[in-house]
């Protein structure tokens, strides 16, 4: 078992407009990417649990084989820059993914 942060070259989040966040997980090589993909750990259910959201708020989850990358987009709880919102650019929302255990 390894943490996702030890397998991925890039794990990042950012705004996808004022009402959505998008996440990118990129791998250095095909072997590592295939390991994570085959583990079937990164699912809509896993994402919903990590972010404490309804799975209906996950707009997409895509595996890009050509780029050794996984991308998903979720609806924000509050719009970017709204009162009480603490991450205007969405750049810190990837943190729950870092310690996700991959067999």
User: Residue 6: which CATH number?
Assistant: 3.30.70
Pairwise CA distance, residues 83 & 5, whole Å:
31
Domain count within the chain: 1
Q: Is residue 84 part of a domain?
A: no
Range of the domain at 26: 2-79+90-102
Give 42-70 pLDDT, tens digit per residue.
999 999 999 999 999 999 999 999 999 99
48: its two tokens: 């919903």
Q: Is residue 47 part of a domain?
A: yes
Q: Is the pLDDT of residue 25 over 80?
A: yes
pTM of the model: 0.91
Q: Is residue 85 part of a domain?
A: no
For the chain, percent of residues with pLDDT exceeding 70: 100
Residue 22 has a pLDDT of: 97
Q: What is the C-alpha radius of gyration for the chain, rounded to an integer number of angstroms?
A: 14
**Cα torsion angle, 81, 86, 92, 93, sign:** negative
């Amino acid at each position: 078992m390894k943490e996702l942060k030890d397998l991925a070259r890039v794990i990042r989040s950012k705004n996808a407009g004022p009402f959505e966040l998008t996440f990118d997980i990129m791998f250095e090589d095909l072997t590592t990417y295939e390991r994570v993909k085959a583990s079937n750990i990164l699912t809509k259910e896993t994402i919903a649990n990590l972010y404490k959201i309804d799975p209906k708020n996950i707009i997409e989850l895509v595996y890009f084989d050509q780029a050794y990358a996984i991308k998903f987009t979720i609806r924000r709880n509050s719009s970017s820059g709204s009162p009480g919102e603490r991450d205007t650019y969405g750049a810190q929302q990837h943190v729950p993914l870092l310690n996700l255990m991959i067999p």
